[in-house]
Amino acid sequence: MPESLRHTLLSIRDLLATVGPFVLLALALLVPAYYVLDPTPPKRVVLATGAEQGAYHEFGKRYQAILKTYGIQVELRITQGAAENLALLRDASSGVQIAFVQGGADEAPLGADADEGGPALVSLGSLFFEPVWLFYREDAAQRLLKSDTLSHLPQLAGWKLNIGGPGSGTPNLMKKLLDANRIDPAQITLLEEQQTPAVMALLGAESDALVFASAPESLMVQMLLQTPGIKLFDFAQADAYSRRFPFMSPVTLPSGVVDLAGNLPAQDVRLVAPTATLVAREGTHPALIQLFVQAAQQVHGGAGWFQRKGDFPTALNTERPLAKEAQRYFQSGVPLLQRYLPFWLANLVDRMWPVLVTIVAVLLPLSRMLPPLYEFRIRSRVFRWYQQLREIEGAVGDKPSAQLMDDLDALEAKVGQVTVPLAYTDELYALRSYIALVRTRLLAGAGAQT
């Protein structure tokens, strides 16, 4: 091995031997903190959406594509709607961690805590308006009301009204609206069919009206808005409903927004709209919540029939407490580090920085000991031979010179094997000079004896 390479390797060995315990101490503090804080999000998450043809499921596909870019697999759980989604969130064995939930979908009466006694749920923010679409047949209005216009919910007495299948949020929502209007459910034939059979029943005159709450992107909404003989209920008391139900907002379907050329609808239609929210179990990994809220900005941040660009997502009208990570996003936007670093690294630093600061505060004073320790280790390699040299020198006159000369030769051979960094060679050469001085004294003593 070349001498220069040998010296380099030995210097690296000394450096590692000095710094090693310091590094091990840092790891001993950092590794447990990493497992306790768990900064890395899980690679798989289950998102409850809704019916396969519904808006929730279509939005779920977009979330799935966005989170895939971060290496996270989003499994979409097809359900009957918001009520089933809430039930899955409250069932720890379901595996569902996040779900779309419609405002007013709970069976609990207005003002009651629907989550009391179950796992705590948190909101990730409101995403979009889900207007209550009450479609009815014109011929049914003519037959039952002697008019082609339905203007108030109490007029539904005697109608066959499809309020959606079990598991969706619409039945609970509609029952609240009927109760607010003091309508006896016995006065209405309430049908509970899923969305597609309900639409087919309406078109086939097997029912007089149907109601569901959905984003306008729903294919069923788009189709019914353009179907001859089917009219959309105009909520003349939309403002009053929004005052009675905090989760509702009055919205307007503008004239011509469905079809400008055909001027559909022919006039503005007033609607009431719960807001759809993302709801998660409390304890869901903060990094997942951060990613879902950021994805919500991409999916729902644009303009639509009922909102302008930037209106959603929002912290308003959420019904449930806002998750801390979501609140942080709505207040400050994307975390600063994520604007310049990959997500995994930015998230790691963001989650670990309190621990890192603490570890640095502990290790910084200790780090001042490293240079003296390194210097001691190098110098001890030289200084330990001075003890033997002193013993040889002290034995001059007491032991035979030949024996002492042999001991001195052996010591010099061992010192010749010692290597030190260039900065410490002066001490090595000083030792060799002292060896030469003792050798001179031995030779002088031997010459005097002869």
Beta bridge partners of 317: none
31: CB partners within 8 A, 6+ apart: none
> CB-side exposure of 149: number of CA atoms within 13 Å?
5
Given a contact cutoff of 8 angstroms between Cβ atoms, the answer to whether 446 and 404 are in contact is: no
Number of residues written out for the chain: 450
Q: What is the pLDDT of residues 248-264, one digit of tens each?
A: 899 999 999 888 998 98
Give the pLDDT score at 417: 78
| Burial letters 199-226, b for 16+ CB under 10 A, else e | bebbbeeebbbbbbbbbbebebbeebbe
The confidence band for 303, taking pLDDT boundaries of 50, 70 and 90, is confident
pLDDT tens digits along 324-375: 989 989 998 888 778 888 887 777 777 766 777 777 777 777 777 777 777 7
> Per residue in 55-76, pLDDT tens?
889 899 999 999 999 989 999 9
Domain boundaries, the chain: 369-449
Q: What are the distances in angstroms from CA 39 to CA 30, 31, 35, 283, 343?
A: 12, 12, 8, 13, 12
Identify whether 154 is preceded by a cis peptide bond (ω within 30 of 0).
no
Residue written as token pair 């011509």: 256
pLDDT given for residue 89 in this prediction: 93
Mean pLDDT of the chain: 83
Task: Please choose, from the candidates 3, 206, 169, the residue with its C-alpha nearest in 3D space to the C-alpha of residue 80.
Answer: 169
pLDDT grade for 33, boundaries at 50, 70 and 90? low
Q: Specify the pLDDT at position 185.
A: 79
**pLDDT value for 53:** 73
Residue 331, φ and ψ in degrees, nearest 5: -85, -40
pLDDT over 70 (residue 148): yes
**pLDDT (tens digit per residue) in 95-107:** 999 999 988 877 6
For the cut 60, the answer to whether the pLDDT of residue 115 exceeds it is: no
- Identify the weakest region by mean pLDDT among 28-37, 142-151, 280-289: 28-37
pLDDT, tens only, 388-414: 888 888 887 778 878 888 888 888 888
Query: Which pLDDT band holds residue 110 (cuts at 50, 70, 90)?
Result: very low
Minimum mean pLDDT range among 178-192, 230-244, 429-443: 429-443
Considering the entire predicted model, what is its pTM?
0.67
Strands 209-213 and 189-191: unpaired
pLDDT beyond 50 at 446: yes
Instruction: Count CB-CB contacts under 10 A for residue 185.
Output: 12
Cβ within 8 Å of residue 46, ≥6 positions away: 74, 75, 77, 94, 95, 96, 97, 98
Judged against a pLDDT cut of 80, whether residue 38 lies above it is answered with no
Is the Cβ–Cβ distance between 404 and 52 less than 8 Å? no
DSSP string, 119-143: --EEEEEEEEE--EEEEEEHHHHHH
Give the burial string for 244-277 (b: 16+ CB within 10 Å, else e): ebebbbbbbbeeebbeeeeeebeeebbbbbbbbb
Confidence class for position 112, pLDDT limits 50, 70, 90: very low
Residues in contact with 315: Cβ distance below 8 Å, sequence separation at least 6, in sequence order: 125, 126, 322, 326, 327, 330
Going by C-alpha positions, the residue among 259, 239, 240 that lies closest to residue 250 is 239
Span 102-129, mean pLDDT?
72
